[in-house]
Copies of this chain bind each other. A is one copy, B any other.
């Protein structure tokens, strides 16, 4: 990039990142949404993704810890509420546990993170660290994958309900909530990035942050695909190690 983009051109560049790199294009998602995974493979996905979910409020708190503006903190606080809820059993993390419960996974095992792939942990931890350490603009921009999530959620819920008899509308309740939360969050974050990315370098950094975040999501599916789909190389200690796929 050598020229400052207009707000519309910046938004288009950010959306282009999603077109090319969002994890709806990953082969694992095609299998998941197409009903072509075994129950164990779906369990592995839900188990590993729980670790990502569990770190999201910590990531959001890390962003707020660096934020001097009460108004931005107030707006961002809604994400903590969405994920942690206002009482035990509420919020996105609890809704994800309803999914792992519904799949028959032991809740203590899920929460412990004991069975997740190292690739999951490395990718998720890299995301939390990125938000804690990069500029506030990059931290906000890295959340913009939410611009792309409503489409994937629509596909996912329809595909999983059609494809798996062990999945119900109730156990997929997490995604229903995200259908309204994600666009609201994405609109706010996109407006922030368009307002605050006022130099060529800042715009490039915002786009790079979104690419980074797409990599974080993609790498998690790479790990799942390698371990549980083909050729089925579950690493020692991870969910399903030693068992036949």
Chain A interface (Cβ within 8 Å of chain B)? 54, 57-59, 61-68, 70-71, 73-74, 77, 80-81, 83-88, 91, 93-94, 132
Contacts and interface: CB of A to CB of B under 8 A. Distances in A.
Nearest to A131: B65
B54 A58 contact: no
- How many identical subunits does the complex contain? 2
Contacts of A58: 64-68
Nearest to A91: B70
A65 B67 CA distance: 13
A84 B77 contact: yes
B71 A80 contact: no
Q: Is the interface of A mostly helix, strand, loop or mixed?
A: helix
Contacts of A66: 58
Nearest to A59: B65
Given A58-B68, A70-B91, 19 more contacts: A58-B65, A58-B66, A58-B67, A59-B65, A61-B61, A61-B63, A61-B64, A61-B65, A62-B65, A64-B65, A64-B80, A65-B65, A70-B84, A73-B80, A74-B85, A74-B86, A74-B87, A77-B80, A77-B84
Interface centre among A54, A70, A132 (most CB of B within 10 A): A70
Contacts of A94: 70
Nearest to A57: B73
A74 B88 CA distance: 9
Nearest to A54: B68
Interface centre among A57, A63, A65, A93 (most CB of B within 10 A): A65
Contacts of A84: 70, 73-74, 77
